[in-house]
Amino acid sequence: MTAVPAGQEPPQPGSLPSAGPAASGPDAAEQRLLESVRALRAPGSDPYGEQAGRHPDPAQPVRPGSSLTVERCLQLFDAQLASRHLDLAARWLRARGAGYYTIGSSGHEGNAGVAAALRLTDPALLHYRSGAFYLVRAAQASPPRDGVTDVLLGLVAAAAEPIAGGRHKVFGHPELHVIPQTSTIASHLPRALGLAFAVDRAAKLGLRTPWPEDCLVIASFGDASVNHSTAAGAMNAAAYTSFQRLPVPLLLVCEDNGIGISVRTPPGWIAASQSGRSQLRYFTADGADLADAYDTTLAAAGYVRARRAPAFLHLRTVRIGGHAGSDVESAYRSPAEISADAERDPLLGTARLLVESGALTPADVLDRYEAVKARVLALADGLAGASRLGTAAEIMAPVAPRRPATVAANLASRAGQVSDWPRHRVFGAQLPEDEGLLTLAQAINRALADELALRPGMIVFGEDVARKGGVYGVTRGLLRAFGPGRVFDSLLDEQTILGVALGAGLAGLLPVPEIQYLAYLHNAADQIRGEAATLSFFSRAQYCNPMVVRVAGLAYQQGFGGHFHNDNSLAALRDIPGLIIACPARPDDAAPMLRTCLAAADVDGSVCAFVEPIALYHERDLHEAGDGGWLARYEPPERWPRAHVPVGRARSYGDGQDLTIVSFGNGVRLSLRAARTLAAEGIGCRVLDLRWLAPLPFEDLLRAAAATGRVLVADETRRTGGVSEAVLTTLIDAGFTGRMARVASHDSFIPLGDAAAAVLLSQETIEEAARDLLA
């Protein structure tokens, strides 16, 4: 056990609040609930709450017409009570410096009915007020899990917490099929859509996923979150996909407590905005009425499961006790509003159901309440000093687990499986290795085809990739060869494209989404930064979302100008922990690097950004028109293992002794041209193509720098936040003491036409900087 930091003494058993209601003291909400329970009367009972002697059959409906039995209602009530007491325990732990999270589920415990109406094997991406849902799910497992302990371990950031291991307080567990979510509201909805799409797509492709074919995906979120563009985009994408008669078994559950922190949702807005939508069937239930929540979820889930179509379940809830422990809601809500919520307390609702059915007396309810409270608090007390993460190594272990040798072996074994016959079916009479010299675009195209043939779970999708074959023809012919099940056009929404990748990767497919231009990655960057890159971290690598995101980018396009088609900023990708960034410059690097990324995604669950320099797609020449210096042959499969380019290995050109020019992407071609000019002046250069921008090729860089003792970085990204900053600091950190300089593009956007050259790195600036450095 790690010691609790100073000032955070673990609570002593003697400091436990007593289980009696009188001791719950200042918690007005709790007092009010208990008073309301005491005032409940069973039909036919006398004014003192004595029953008329009914003991309903446990298998009977708890209310006529409901599918919820008395027995199930009692079980769910216990989960609701435990969830409420977890919220109280969270505040108690926090007050004692032993807990770190107080956003609770109070008022939302109706989601116990949602969980009960679904299957354990329905993957769930949950709102942060899902305590009762989680506890019900935990009880569904065989053997059942103690969900209370799981949640408490999360509250105290214990290393033993089953999903995030103390990295965050999230709901998640692989055995419960609960996938952990980030705190970014609505950001899980594109993934949820992608997962719903992928479970059916995988089945269609004859592939297994961790979930049964008739599963549905449940994603829950709050009412304020509905207005987020991420939610709007995901719901639109679900409806759009379903409109095309493609299966989308997605149950969207909006837990509408009428408020987002302090901002009221206009009363009626959720129903007004979501009911009657085409392709998104609307259901609504009273979250304070467990039987209604259960019955309505059964109906909604039945619809989604049978029709494989999305539905929106509007669960009307309340919020009890403020947004979080630190939130003083009386500052922005009137006492009348707070009381109105208390009257709709779901615990009171379930107590009423059970009392009215004759299953419990008010006194029984109070006993149950206290018994659960005592159990939860005793557990909280026991876990308050649980061991936490300590070292950076412990914390970072699941960021992006890497096994380079296994990646190489995976690649080699795939190469060993290649046989000519299916390749001829894909490529026709002429195999790519017999085509002669290829461009970068052609090499990527051929590698995609070979890999699609070898990896049955690989899917290629994005805007214009299928029928058109990509804006630059990189995916041409893939639709014809592999069919629309594996190569398809997406709707025009980068967030959805990445969401489909997130869900497909989670489902075990190998998604290769294309982002049409680097500039358009930026409007969906959170799906990589906040979602894709963090899943392994927040799940202790129990979940991963492998993907290779192809991004056409960088500058120097002839004829298609302006910033958005020539975006040269990679800063938003470069600082993402664990992300692999590949940037091939030449055809003979692009194909093996793509293979490495796919193998890494397959083997390690890696998230890879494969940045393709548009200006080099169709480039043929290096020095003179017609020299064919930028073309290369495609390696036949038997040579793939030998041609393997591991992540983080650079490529070196030349053996000049005066200067090492470090570059990547378009800069490699500019640098090679500059090196020739400089050679004519008697300056011997070698050029190092980094090839991988994350992780940077540390050892190759140091070796190349040491070879000449002088380094010039030629960086086509911006001076600020660009790659050159990382290269130079890497050299300094490593103790390199030789001369260093850099040339980069300006901190500007790219203008239209020839003016672009004024702000971009050029061959001439590289040459001048080299002369200066050597002067």
Ligand X SMILES: Cc1ncc(C[n+]2csc(CCOP(=O)(O)OP(=O)(O)O)c2C)c(N)n1
> What amino acid positions are annotated as catalytic residues?
565
Q: Which does 184 bind (CB under 5 to 8 A by kind): Mg ion, ligand X, none?
A: ligand X
CB of 265 to Mg ion, least distance (A): 7
Q: Which two tokens stand for residue 665?
A: 């992407």
Site for Mg ion in 398-437 (CB under 5 A): none
| Pairing status of strand 580-582 against strand 607-613 | parallel
Residue written as token pair 């018994």: 371
Q: Which amino acid is at 229?
A: S
Name the residue among 498, 459, 494 with its Cα closest to residue 479: 459
592 binds ligand X (CB under 6 A): no
Q: Which of 84, 91, 129, 308 binds ligand X (CB under 6 A)?
A: 129
Alpha-carbon distance of 279 to 269, in angstroms, equals 19
Told to check if 612 binds ligand X by CB under 6 A, we report no
Q: Which is nearer to Mg ion, 269 or 749 (CB)?
A: 269
Q: Which of ligand X, Mg ion, none does 286 bind, CB closer than 5 to 8 A by kind?
A: none
Judge whether 338 and 309 are in contact, CB under 8 Å. Answer: no
**Helix count and strand count (H, E) for the chain:** 28, 22
| Residue 185 touches which member of Mg ion, ligand X, none, C-beta under 5-8 Å by kind | ligand X
Which 3 state secondary structure label does DSSP give 462?
strand
Q: Which does 183 bind (CB under 5 to 8 A by kind): ligand X, Mg ion, none?
A: ligand X
Site string for ligand X, 296-335 (x = CB under 6 A): -----------------------x---x------------
Q: At what angle do helices 404-417 and 440-454 cross, to 10 degrees?
A: 80
Strand 250-256's sheet: what is its strand order?
A: 178-179, 124-125, 217-222, 250-256, 311-316, 281-286
Q: Which does 225 bind (CB under 5 to 8 A by kind): ligand X, Mg ion, none?
A: ligand X
Helix, strand or coil, per DSSP, at residue 90: helix
- Which of these ranges, 255-263, 368-376, 474-482, 546-554, lies near ligand X under the rule CB under 6 A? 255-263
Q: Which stretch binds ligand X (CB under 6 A): 156-164, 181-189, 349-357, 650-658?
A: 181-189
In the complex with ligand X, the residue whose CB is nearer, 183 or 419, is 183
To the nearest whole angstrom, how small is the minimum distance from the Cβ of residue 186 to ligand X?
A: 7
- Smallest separation (angstroms) from ligand X to the CB of 192: 15
- Out of 60, 67, 184, 273, which residue is the one contacting ligand X (CB under 6 A)? 184
- Neighbouring residues of 468: CB distance < 8 A, sequence distance ≥ 6: none
Residue 130 binds to Mg ion (criterion: CB under 5 A):
no
Contact partners, residue 428, CB within 8 Å, separation at least 6: none
Binds ligand X (CB under 6 A): choice among 69, 220, 257, 445: 257
In the bound state with ligand X, the residue whose beta carbon lies nearer, of 264 and 746, is: 264
Q: Does 102 bind Mg ion (CB under 5 A)?
A: no
516 near Mg ion (CB under 5 A)? no
Do you find a cis peptide bond into 143, omega within 30 degrees of 0?
Answer: yes
> Of 183, 339, 413, 430, which one interacts with ligand X (CB under 6 A)?
183
Minimum distance from residue 309 beta carbon to ligand X (Å): 24
Packing angle between helix 346-356 and helix 28-38, nearest 10 degrees?
10
Q: How far apart are CA 2 and CA 14, in angstroms?
A: 22
Site string for ligand X, 219-238 (x = CB under 6 A): ---xxxx-------------
Of 74-82, 251-259, 403-411, 674-682, the window that binds ligand X (rule: CB under 6 A) is 251-259
Instruction: Specify the amino acid at residue 351.
Output: A
Which one of 176, 259, 298, 585 is in contact with ligand X (CB under 6 A)? 259
CB of 131 to ligand X, least distance (A): 12
Q: How far is the CB of 287 from ligand X (least distance, A)?
A: 11
Q: How far is the CB of 530 from ligand X (least distance, A)?
A: 9
Instruction: Choose the one of Mg ion, ligand X, none that binds residue 716, judging by a C-beta under 5 to 8 angstroms depending on kind.
Output: none
Phi, psi of 451 (to 5 degrees): -70, -35
Binding of residue 466 to ligand X (CB under 6 A): no
Smallest distance, ligand X to C-beta of residue 231, A = 9
Query: Which is nearer to Mg ion, 285 or 761 (by Cβ)?
Result: 285
Residue 260 binding ligand X, by CB under 6 A:
yes
Closest residue to ligand X, judged by C-beta, is 222
Nearest distance, CB of residue 488 and Mg ion, angstroms: 36
Crossing angle (nearest 10°) for helices 290-307 and 346-356: 100
Task: Specify the stretch interacting with ligand X by CB under 6 A; choose among 32-40, 259-267, 702-710, 755-763.
Answer: 259-267
**Site string (189-228) toward Mg ion, x via CB under 5 A:** ---------------------------------xxx----
Q: CB 282 → ligand X: shortest distance, Å?
A: 18
The CA-atom distances, in angstroms, between 23 and each of 8, 81, 374, 379, 644 are 23, 18, 13, 19, 68
Local structure of residue 461 (DSSP, 8 states): E
Q: Which two tokens stand for residue 512?
A: 């290769």
Report the run of H or E that residue 348 belongs to, with start and end. Answer: helix 346-356
- Total of residues contacting Mg ion (CB under 5 A): 6
Contact 186, 223 (CB under 8 A): no
The neighbouring-strand residues paired with 743 are 714
Give CA–CA dist 635/326, Å, rounded.
61
Considering only 3, 23, 52, 261, the residue that binds ligand X (CB under 6 A) is 261
- Distant-in-sequence, close-in-space partners of 718: CB < 8 Å, separation ≥ 6: 568, 569, 571, 744, 745, 746, 747, 748
**Pair 767, 735: CB distance under 8 Å:** no
- Based on CB atoms, which residue is closest to ligand X, 185 or 615? 185
Beta bridge partners of 253: 220, 313
Q: What is residue 718's DSSP assignment?
A: E
Nearest residue (beta carbon) to Mg ion: 222
Q: Encoding tokens for residue 142? A: 């065989």
Interacting residues with ligand X between 695 and 754 (CB under 6 A): none
Classify 771 as helix, strand or coil: helix
Q: Closer to Mg ion at the Cβ: 261 or 734? A: 261
- What is the total count of residues that contact ligand X (CB under 6 A)? 15
Q: Which is nearer to ligand X, 72 or 323 (CB)?
A: 323
24 belongs to the binding site for ligand X (CB under 6 A): no
- Write the interaction track for Mg ion spanning residues 238-277; mark x where CB under 5 A is met and - where it is not: -------------------x-xx-----------------
Q: How far is CA 106 from CA 383, 510, 642, 656, in A?
A: 22, 39, 59, 69
- Which is nearest to 78 in space by CA: 6, 157, 134, 132? 132
User: Is residue 37 within a helix (H) or strand (E), and if so which, with residue range?
Assistant: helix 28-38
Amino acid found at 481: A
Nearest to 727 by CA among 745, 709, 740, 746: 740
Would you give the distance in Å from CA 215 to the centre of its chain?
Answer: 20
CA dihedral 31, 36, 37, 40 (to 10 degrees): 160
CB of 384 to ligand X, least distance (A): 26
| Cβ at position 319, least distance to Mg ion in Å | 6
Examine residue 137 and tell whether it contacts ligand X (CB under 6 A): no
State the residues that interact with Mg ion by CB under 5 A. 222-224, 257, 259-260
User: What are the residues binding ligand X (CB under 6 A)?
Assistant: 129, 183-185, 222-225, 255, 257, 259-261, 319, 323
